[in-house]
């Protein structure tokens, strides 16, 4: 059931240039991979809410990690502690846990945001987790120590070599695909997800990906976020059928 929440802002932090972490009082029982639709203005301008993935949640806290990319998220970034935020959610599908003993988790840029919840769930379930984090440069590897603390194996890749290995993150993760009896999880840009899906299929690993899309309504009504899928359905909506999909059912554009 859709729920509307009005939560008070506890803290708004700049964690890197252009990236904010927003902490709100009140939990919403979200699962790893789900998102909320945030009203960023008290007026109808902008008219649409902004979709933000859930970074972390407890019974009394909700944390959102997001990038300021336009007017809507700039308005959100300007909000201060003590203000109240109007959210709709939790929305969408979540990452499933499997019976595999290990997990390989691949993050690209801000795609790491919803994976924090997943890493917590995997750790609680006793999985052996290898986390591969890629970004354009060191500044875009966010909250690195916090991710590192949740996993058994942590590796970084940057396009410019300013941190970790100078490579695309899927190159760094390939040996883990080959050697571990693991379920694969990923969130990031579409080219990265396409390669993750290819590698998982090649090595016979179950794989689940969280897709990035332009979400308008967030509840499946506008059909603005459909993606091509295999089988008879042809298209599915990222907002309600996803954002998490089994990698093998998606056609990556």
Cα torsion 160, 162, 166, 169 to 10°: value is -90
pLDDT(135) > 90:
yes
Tens of pLDDT, residues 179-220: 989 999 999 999 999 999 999 999 999 999 999 888 888 888
Confidence class for position 24, pLDDT limits 50, 70, 90: very high
Cβ-Cβ contacts under 8 Å for 190 (sequence gap 6 or more): 211, 212, 252, 253
**3-class state of residue 56 by DSSP:** strand
| Domains of the chain: residue spans and CATH | 4-91 (2.40.30.10), 102-249 (3.40.50.80)
Per-chain mean pLDDT for the chain: 93
pLDDT of residue 1: 57
Cα distance between residue 185 and residue 244, in whole Å? 9
Cα distance between residue 27 and residue 239, in whole Å? 21
Higher local confidence (pLDDT), 101 or 232: 101
Cα distance between residue 83 and residue 77, in whole Å? 12
- % of the chain at pLDDT higher than 70: 98
Cα distance between residue 137 and residue 143, in whole Å? 14
What is the mean predicted confidence (pLDDT) over 166-170? 96
Cα distance between residue 240 and residue 32, in whole Å? 15
DSSP string, 148-183: HTT-SEEEEEESSSSSSEES-HHHHHHHHHHH--EE
Give CB contacts under 8 A, 24+ apart, made by 81-85.
81/9, 81/10, 81/11, 81/12, 82/8, 82/9, 83/8, 83/9, 84/6, 84/7, 84/8, 84/9, 85/6, 85/7, 85/8, 85/9, 85/22, 85/24, 85/38, 85/39
Cα distance between residue 36 and residue 92, in whole Å? 9
Confidence class for position 15, pLDDT limits 50, 70, 90: very high
Cβ-Cβ contacts under 8 Å for 243 (sequence gap 6 or more): 33, 35, 53, 92, 93, 210, 211, 212, 213
Measured CA angle at 73 (ends 70, 79), to 5 deg: 140
- % of the chain at pLDDT higher than 90: 77
Confidence class for position 28, pLDDT limits 50, 70, 90: confident
Q: Give the residue among 168, 152, 163 at the shortest CA–CA distance from 119.
A: 152
Q: Give the residue among 98, 119, 56, 78 at the shortest CA–CA distance from 183.
A: 98
User: What is the model's pTM?
Assistant: 0.94
Cα distance between residue 239 and residue 217, in whole Å? 8
**38 sits in which H/E element:** strand 35-39
Tens of pLDDT, residues 216-225: 888 888 888 8
């Amino acid at each position: 059931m859709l729920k509307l929440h009005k939560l008070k802002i506890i803290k708004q932090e700049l964690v890197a240039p252009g990236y904010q972490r927003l902490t709100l009082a009140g939990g919403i029982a979200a699962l790893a991979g789900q998102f909320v639709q945030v009203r960023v203005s008290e007026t109808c301008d902008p008219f649409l809410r902004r979709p933000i993935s859930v970074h972390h949640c407890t019974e009394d806290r909700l944390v959102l990690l997001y990038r300021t990319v336009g007017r809507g998220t700039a308005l959100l970034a300007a909000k201060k502690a003590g203000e109240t935020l109007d959210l709709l959610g939790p929305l969408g599908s979540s990452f499933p846990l499997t019976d595999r003993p290990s997990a390989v988790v691949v993050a690209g840029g801000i795609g790491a945001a919803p994976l924090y919840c997943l890493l917590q769930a995997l750790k609680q379930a006793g999985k052996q987790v290898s986390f591969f984090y890629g970004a354009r440069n060191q500044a875009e590897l966010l909250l690195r120590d916090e991710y590192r603390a949740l996993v058994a194996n942590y590796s970084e890749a940057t396009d410019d070599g300013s941190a970790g290995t100078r490579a695309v993150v899927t190159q760094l993760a390939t040996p883990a695909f080959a050697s571990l009896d693991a379920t694969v999880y990923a969130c990031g840009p579409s080219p990265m997800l396409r390669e993750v899906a290819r590698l998982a299929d090649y090595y016979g690993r179950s794989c689940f990906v969280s897709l990035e899309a332009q979400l308008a309504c967030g509840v499946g009504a506008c059909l603005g976020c459909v993606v091509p899928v295999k089988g008879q359905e042809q298209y599915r909506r990222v907002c309600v059928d996803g954002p998490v999909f089994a990698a093998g059912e998606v056609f990556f554009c």
